[in-house]
Amino acid sequence: MTEVSEEQGRERSRLGAVLLLAIAQLVSWGSLYYAFALFIEPLERERGWSRTEVTGALTVGLLATAAASPLAGRLIDRLGGRLPMTGGSLAAALLLLAWSRVEELPTFYLVWVGLGVAMAFVLYDAVFALLARTLLQGYRRAVTAITLVAGFASTVFFPLVHLLIEHLGWRGALVTLAALNLVVCGAVHFFVPARLGSPLGGPGSAPRPAPTTVRAAARGRPFWGILVAVVANAMLFAAVTFHLVPLLGERGVPLPTIVAAAALVGPAQVGARALLLASEGRLSLRASALLAATLPLLGTAVLAAVRPGSLLIWLFPLLYGAGNGMLTIVRATAIVELVSRSSFGAVNGAIALPALAGTALAPVAAAHLWKVSGGYESVLAALLGLAVATLAGFWWATTKARPR
């Protein structure tokens, strides 16, 4: 009875730790990524910078995240999450404060290079590496729970940041976001990792598998299949996110309808993650991966068929959002089960680098394709190609693959 009680106590402690990490992810995503959109207009108005100049900082920041992701993953593999993730949150807080004092455009870009690096240490890839290092049982459930909570980041932070800017100005809003990163994320990342239990291979844990180098992982088909799927989906998601409004506007769909439809993507993501959590144990990794990749493909096909007054505009965000919500979990689980658990951070970082670079460059590439082709039909063809590549990548990765 005593052993059962102790195990139940450890399980409750791990559950509490996962929930705290989920809250930190919600704050990190909301304050470092989604909030940016609400600062564009105030910066244009007060600093006189063009929209291209302002949004260019986000592109530079995402490229910095891509460049820093392999290093962040390797450090978490070796040191655990406490020092790298706490350092990332402290850096994010200081850089948000620096942004609140920005006067010149080059300084703004330097701040966003730093914020991009900080994001590599605090967003999904970092916390997934921490969980892979510590949780032998319940890894997929923990990943699903964290993404389920963090999926509300835009829902919470869009109105919150809007109110902060209205009442405190954009500089005061950034100071508040810096405080949240310090008090919430910094504290969680400093105190919580130890509550997850001993790292794999530590005292009282299961034996830790031998670390896998990225070069060794790249000899297997699962690595390349996951790489193709993740990069293609990242480019698809970024291009659709930034071009949905002009794409549908070009077809004559009213702006209020577009906005209302786009608002369904977030709830669809969260709903799909909740269903994935409820179906754990009944849905295999291969089935989950193929389902998650098929839904955005169907959603993109539906998007290509949308016309003014068509009900398909409401089906698109449900298919597209649900698939992308599931893909976040599938990616993290596939790397652990098919490639490497002990070197998750390094392997995931190697995959994240081209994926994040694709996220940064896809909107620009789509805009260029629209310009040279004279319309969005060519862009839609490219988006369908990316959706097919996502499905093909996961099919290749999970066919005849053996979980490690």
Per-residue pLDDT tens, the chain, 404 aa: give them: 555 455 555 666 778 889 999 999 999 999 998 888 888 888 888 999 887 788 888 889 989 998 999 999 889 988 888 999 999 999 999 999 999 999 999 999 999 999 999 999 999 889 998 998 887 677 888 888 898 888 888 878 888 888 999 999 999 999 999 999 999 999 999 998 877 765 654 544 444 455 566 777 777 788 899 999 999 999 998 888 878 888 888 888 888 888 788 878 888 888 888 888 787 767 888 888 999 999 999 999 999 999 988 889 999 989 998 998 899 888 888 888 888 777 888 888 888 889 988 888 888 888 888 888 888 899 999 999 999 999 999 999 988 645 54
The verdict on 269 and 348 lying in the same domain is: yes
- The answer to the question of residue 203 being in a domain is no
The verdict on 117 and 265 lying in the same domain is: no
Q: Which two tokens mark 158?
A: 């869009």
What's residue 207's pLDDT?
47
Domain count for the chain: 2
C-beta separation of 296 from 319 below 8 A: yes
The verdict on 238 and 186 lying in the same domain is: no
What's residue 6's pLDDT?
53
> What is the pTM (predicted TM-score) of this model?
0.80
| Domain end position, chosen among 196, 223, 245 | 196
Q: How many CA atoms lie within 13 A of 162 on its CB side?
A: 7
DSSP states along 341-398: STTHHHHHHHHHHHHHHHHHHHHHHHHHHHHHHTSSHHHHHHHHHHHHHHHHHHHHHH
The verdict on 220 and 291 lying in the same domain is: yes
CB atoms within 10 A of CB 140: 22
What range does the domain containing 157 cover? Answer: 2-196
Which residues neighbour 381 within 8 Å (Cβ) at sequence distance 6 or greater?
Answer: none
Q: Whole-angstrom Cα distance, residue 153 to residue 189?
A: 18
